[in-house]
């Protein structure tokens, strides 16, 4: 058997860590999962030292998107695959592997959370291309980073053709300024948070809108965030609206934040 592509992550994981990402996937990609002629297949790539995130992904997608969903957790560390065996059940399996995603069927979803942070920025595009090439025609790759307990999360959504959007998601009650999310930017963007780069300009504008919306704080952080999002939407191509904003999210077209060359 060929050696899996990639290197093992630190393995850090906590229950409920990826709830924001899962909630977004179910809401925005649920229709595509339900439209599948066969049981939708989701891959939890690099789930870590414990299988909590794969178990939770199965429950959330079956409850909120499509009850036919099947999940495969893939880990490059064979000891982690062996440790996950007690959690195997109907619709949930674990496999040894890496970025080749050698599932029998092409997945309708690949979720890679907190996997690429250890890689060089120059490697990201190649990994994205490899993973996107494994997707079903209507599939989605979601790749991003969050803190240890899932309060702050930023991810990129990609289709078979490449990157589509960037989503910023946070627990609003813990937010001081929106640029607090900068430390959770995915690898493709985290080194680009410098003057002259679009992501830096976006976070600057988000902070300014947040500051201008300070009078709404008396109505709660959610109302302040809604006002902030409406202001930012005047200048940036947001793809979502108040329904998602109320969840502490903002989604922007990838082209608006994509790194400048060089």
Which pair of structure tokens corresponds to residue 96?
A: 């040894």
Give the Cβ contact number of residue 176 at 10 Å.
7
Is pTM beyond 0.85? Reply is yes
Residues of the chain with CATH 3.40.50.150: 19-170
Instruction: Extract the tokens encoding 110.
Output: 């690949």
Residues 125 and 133: beta-carbon distance below 8 Å: no
- Report, as ranges of residue numbers, the positions in the chain whose pLDDT lies below 50: none
Query: DSSP string of 168-229?
Result: EEE-GGG-S-GGGGGGG--HHHHTT-STTSHHHHHHHHHHHHHHHTGGGGGG-HHHHHHHHH
pLDDT of residue 245: 98
How far is Cα 168 from Cα 249, in angstroms, rounded to an integer?
6
> For residue 1, what pLDDT is reported?
57
Question: What's the CA gap between 151 and 148, in Å, rounded?
Answer: 8
Helix ranges restricted to H, 48-142: 52-64, 78-84, 121-133
- Beta bridge partners, 261, equal none
pLDDT at residue 11 in the model: 66
pLDDT for the residue 12: 76
Count Cβ neighbours within 10 Å for each residue of 197-210 and write b for 16 or more, e otherwise: bbbbbbbebbbebb
Topology of domain 19-170, per CATH? Rossmann fold (3.40.50)
Contact between residue 8 and residue 99 where contact means Cβ atoms under 8 Å apart: no
Span 36-75, pLDDT tens digits: 999 999 999 999 999 999 999 999 999 999 999 999 999 9
Residues near 59 by Cβ (< 8 Å), separated by ≥ 6?
A: none
Please tell me the predicted confidence (pLDDT) of residue 142.
98
From the list 147, 129, 136, 116, the residue with the least C-alpha distance to 6 is 116
């Amino acid at each position: 058997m060929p050696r899996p592509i990639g290197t093992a992550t630190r393995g850090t994981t906590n229950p409920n860590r990826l709830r924001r990402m899962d909630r977004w996937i179910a809401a925005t990609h649920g229709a595509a999962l339900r439209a599948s002629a066969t049981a939708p297949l989701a891959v939890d790539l690099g789930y870590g030292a414990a299988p909590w995130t794969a178990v939770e992904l199965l429950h959330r997608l079956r409850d909120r998107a499509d009850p036919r969903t099947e999940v495969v957790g893939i880990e490059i560390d064979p000891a982690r695959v062996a440790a996950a065996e007690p959690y195997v059940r109907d619709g949930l399996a674990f496999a040894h592997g890496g970025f080749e995603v050698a599932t029998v069927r092409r997945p309708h979803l690949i979720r890679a959370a907190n996997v690429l942070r250890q890689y060089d920025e120059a490697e990201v595009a190649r990994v994205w291309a490899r993973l996107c090439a494994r997707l079903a025609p209507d599939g989605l790759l979601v790749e991003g980073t969050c803190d240890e307990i899932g309060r702050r999360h930023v991810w990129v959504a990609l289709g078979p053709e490449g990157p589509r959007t960037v989503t910023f998601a946070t627990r609003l009650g813990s937010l001081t300024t929106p640029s607090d999310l900068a430390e959770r930017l995915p690898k493709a963007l985290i080194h680009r948070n410098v003057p002259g780069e679009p992501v830096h300009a976006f976070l600057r504008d988000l902070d300014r809108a947040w500051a201008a919306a300070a009078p709404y704080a008396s109505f709660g952080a959610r109302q302040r965030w809604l006002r902030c999002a409406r202001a930012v939407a005047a200048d940036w191509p947001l793809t979502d609206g108040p329904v998602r904003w109320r969840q502490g999210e903002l989604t922007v077209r990838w082209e608006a934040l994509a790194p400048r060359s060089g």
